Amino acid sequence: MLVLRTNQTRLNRDLDRLGVEMATGFVRDSATHLGGDVSGLVAIDRTLAKLESYRVNTTEASFLTGTMQTTLDEIQERSEQLSQVLVSAELTPSEEMLRTLADEAETAMGQIVNGLNRSVGGRYLFSGIATDGPALADVDTILTDLRAALSGETTAAGVDAALDTWFDSPGGGFETAGYLGSTTSLAPLKLGEGETARLDIRADDQVFRDLLKSVAKAALATDDGLGFPDDLQIKLISDAASTLQGDQAEVVELRASLGALEARVEETATRNAAERTATSLARLELVGIDDYETAAKYENTRAQLESLYAISVRSSRMSLVEFLR
């Protein structure tokens, strides 16, 4: 009986090992399989772990750049629509039309601000490292602060100077009341050997300051509290339509740069995937199993174990009969 139990234990152990190997596709005891020299396997596993981290980073970079590109596309399209509408200020300069154009500009500004405040998975895209909060204050807050900055101005040059000071001066209104994010960009994502992706587009970049400045100029042109005369209202809206053309060119340039980064991320992801496949095949060569051979061994071991159980049962019954005699 002792011999039967010993064989039963060995067969159970072999059956468990073979079952694991069939499930994973790899030998259970790599060290024994490789004769104790696992240095090659360790190097391969280290490479696979590194490639997995690259896969995570390229997936994240692809998603973030794609979402940023979509946002910039929407901002560009909205600013183009607005500039086309605002050019009618000089053609039909009635009070009602001017107010309609200003309202349109305010609506567009709100949409642009909302775009720059876009978040995915609770992570704000254009806030630098301050990803837990929006990049910009809401449009009402920004316009309220701008009204105070423009109060008392009576000329287009004065309005432009005040807008320049608010949007562009260090420590000006935009930096203290408009932009809520961090002035530090996100750390580059490591995509592969010698490859990184800098997702450093922030809502305080000059391209967005210029765009918002032009839209705000049109939005506040007919503001009752500022009380600009009709000719100044027309001038401000017309100038905004003109400067928006240049602002759109800046957005196009930014989108082109982002598109180049998107392409590089995709190329790197493809290259990493090929390397991961080759490395996985190398690991399979080292510690992979022959599925057919392992399945045959598994069935053979199971058959032996069943036979052993049958012998054990008969032996037990024979022993009981002899005892009862």
| pLDDT, tens digit only, all 325 positions of the chain | 555 566 666 666 665 665 665 666 666 666 676 677 778 888 988 999 999 999 999 999 999 999 999 999 999 999 999 999 998 877 777 888 999 999 999 999 999 999 999 999 889 999 999 999 999 999 999 999 999 999 999 999 999 999 999 999 999 999 999 999 999 999 999 999 888 999 999 999 999 999 999 999 999 999 999 999 999 999 999 999 999 988 989 999 999 999 999 999 999 999 999 999 999 888 777 766 656 666 766 667 677 666 766 666 666 654 544 433 4
| Host domain of residue 17 | 1-27+295-315
Domain check: are 93 and 12 in the same one? Answer: no
Q: Tell me, yes or no, whether 289 lies in a domain.
A: no
Rounded Cα distance between 157 and 45, Å, is: 66
pLDDT at 92: 73
Domain check: are 274 and 304 in the same one? Answer: no
Domain check: are 164 and 253 in the same one? Answer: yes
Helices (H) and strands (E) in the chain, counts: 10, 4
Domain check: are 149 and 23 in the same one? Answer: no
Q: Tell me, yes or no, whether 220 lies in a domain.
A: yes
What is the DSSP track for 51-69? Answer: HHHHHHHHHHHHHHHHHHH
Domain check: are 77 and 171 in the same one? Answer: yes
Cα dihedral 9, 12, 14, 19, rounded to 10, equals -160
Domain check: are 101 and 247 in the same one? Answer: yes
CB atoms within 10 A of CB 287: 21
Domain check: are 221 and 163 in the same one? Answer: yes
Rounded Cα distance between 131 and 128, Å, is: 6
* Largest CA-CA distance found in the chain, in angstroms, rounded: 125
Domain check: are 3 and 58 in the same one? Answer: no
Q: Please state the domain count of the chain.
A: 2
**Which residues lie across from 119 on neighbouring strands?**
124
Domain check: are 135 and 187 in the same one? Answer: yes
